[in-house]
Amino acid sequence: MKAILEDICERLRRNEYRNEEHVRLCIVARILDSLGWNIWDPTQVDSECVTTPQEDRTKVDFALSSRQYIPDVFIEVKRVGHVQGQLDEVERQLRDYNRNNTAAFSVITDGQRWWLYYSQTGGEFRDKRFAMIDLLDSATALDDVAGLLKEYLGRDSITSGSAEKRAKQELRLNQKKRVFLECLQEARRLVQEPPFPSLPDVLVQLMTNRGYKIELDEARQLLETLPPQSEPLASPGTIEPPHASSSQASSKSTLAPGNERTFQPNNPPDLRFTAVDSASFGQEPCKGWNELVEAGLRCANSRHVPVFKLRQVSSANIEEKKRTDSGFHPVKGTPWSYQNKDAGGAWRVAYALAVELRQPIQARFHWRDRDGAAFPNQMGDMRWSP
């Protein structure tokens, strides 16, 4: 299996797979054969399978059946690179394939990337995704890629039920992590308020309120699985730095001289009524909080990071299409749209993206002289680097 994947990866790097048929025959069928499926037996591997014969005779590229003509897996194949930017549309195709003739698993692949879904659960189709495998992911060894493919799509794993068991576990874990990340933003705010509780304690309470039982040790372990941070969490979260220089103070004549605070980037203050004076994500300068997020998304897109991964690490509302409603707007340089957040929410998203992508991030800002501002007429600074 590893030798086959090595050959496929080398050909992917040389751009030898020029159309969808190349992907179907030279990648997908080859991998299925190595996973124990008899690609010459149409009762096992049914190509161009009609999924809704009583309706529009829609066809899926492959239907895999461990029992004669009873589908276990639907696989939809696209050209290399032709899923990014239209994943929502392809997901709708797979959802429709499962209308009458449901398969437990559904797969979208362009040969390089494999999106895996467990169809036998409720909710939106995209929420049924339990894994994404990228053959060219430099962070994952090919032995591990081969192991994941066997575990999720191997004929023995499908027949024995172990693939279904693992898919359910991954879905539950992904859902729990998603809720955990949503609660994390609120928890970081609460630890800055009296009586200044610990972050794990607050997370246990918030998760319990959302219907997820979690022990204190598990909360600590989940925190440890987050991307590494250069600085420890602080409470209430501020460190008094040396006074700002006279040139810095004079550049903002309305601000109290010397009143600049440095904040932990992973434990930001209340950023309501703030304005950004200077900021950057990686090497890209930014003028506002949400511009930091957009810079992070451009960086992620250039590295082919999948949107579901970005949603997991940042809790950002990102769509793989152009949207201009409900606060969404297209992100320049990407096929994605992003729903703006308030200042605090945008910083948390941008910081999570920076840590995930290992890119430096910094922001200098000031609070306006407004009721409700955390530090009226004072300046703040947050920065992180890998």
The pLDDT assigned to 225 comes to 65
Residues 188 and 246 both lie in one domain: no
- Give the mean pLDDT of 7-13: 94
Q: In terms of C-beta distances under 8 Å and separation of at least 24 residues, what long-range contacts does 51-54 make, across chains too?
A: 51/96, 51/97, 51/98, 51/99, 51/100, 51/101, 52/96, 52/97, 52/99, 52/100, 52/101, 54/100
pLDDT tens digits for range 206-242 = 988 888 888 888 888 877 766 543 333 333 333 333 3
Does residue 279 lie in a domain region? yes
pLDDT tens digits for range 14-24 = 999 999 999 99
Residues 146 and 7 both lie in one domain: yes
Residues 87 and 181 both lie in one domain: no
Q: Which of 160, 193, 208 finishes a domain?
A: 160
Does residue 233 lie in a domain region? no
Across 135-144, 262-271, 280-289, least confident range:
135-144
pLDDT at residue 295 is higher than 80: yes
CA-nearest of 372, 373, 377 to 258 is 377
Does residue 66 lie in a domain region? yes
**Domain count along the chain:** 3
Residues 7 and 95 both lie in one domain: yes
Q: Which domain holds residue 191?
A: 173-225
Residues 13 and 151 both lie in one domain: yes
CATH code of the domain containing 41: 3.90.1570.30
Residues 259 and 115 both lie in one domain: no
Residues 155 and 44 both lie in one domain: yes
Residues 44 and 130 both lie in one domain: yes
Does residue 165 lie in a domain region? no
Task: Find where tokens 């200044």 sit.
Answer: 196
More confident residue, 132 or 242: 132
pLDDT tens digits for range 57-79 = 678 899 999 887 788 999 999 99
Quick one: pLDDT band at residue 312, thresholds 50, 70, 90?
Answer: confident
Residues 120 and 75 both lie in one domain: yes
Residues 180 and 55 both lie in one domain: no
Q: What is the DSSP string of 71-105?
A: -SEEEEE--TT-STT-HHHHHHHHHHHTTTS--SE
pLDDT tens digits for range 322-376 = 888 877 899 999 999 999 888 988 999 999 999 989 899 999 999 988 888 888 8
Quick one: pLDDT band at residue 243, thresholds 50, 70, 90?
Answer: very low
CB 58 within 8 A of CB 50: yes
Q: What's the rounded Cα separation, in Å, for the pair 218 and 72?
A: 34
Q: Which of 225, 247, 266 finishes a domain?
A: 225
Q: At what angle do helices 162-190 and 343-357 cross, to 10 degrees?
A: 130
Quick one: pLDDT band at residue 175, thresholds 50, 70, 90?
Answer: confident
Q: How many CA atoms lie within 13 A of 92 on its CB side?
A: 4
Residues 362 and 258 both lie in one domain: yes
Q: What's the rounded Cα separation, in Å, for the pair 45 and 83?
A: 23
pLDDT at residue 244 is higher than 50: no
Residues 29 and 79 both lie in one domain: yes
Does residue 231 lie in a domain region? no
Does residue 37 lie in a domain region? yes
Does residue 230 lie in a domain region? no
Across 24-33, 152-161, 313-322, 329-338, least confident range:
313-322
pLDDT at residue 164 is higher than 50: yes
pLDDT tens digits for range 89-112 = 888 888 887 776 678 999 999 999
pTM above 0.95, yes or no: no
Does residue 190 lie in a domain region? yes
Strand partners for 260: 379
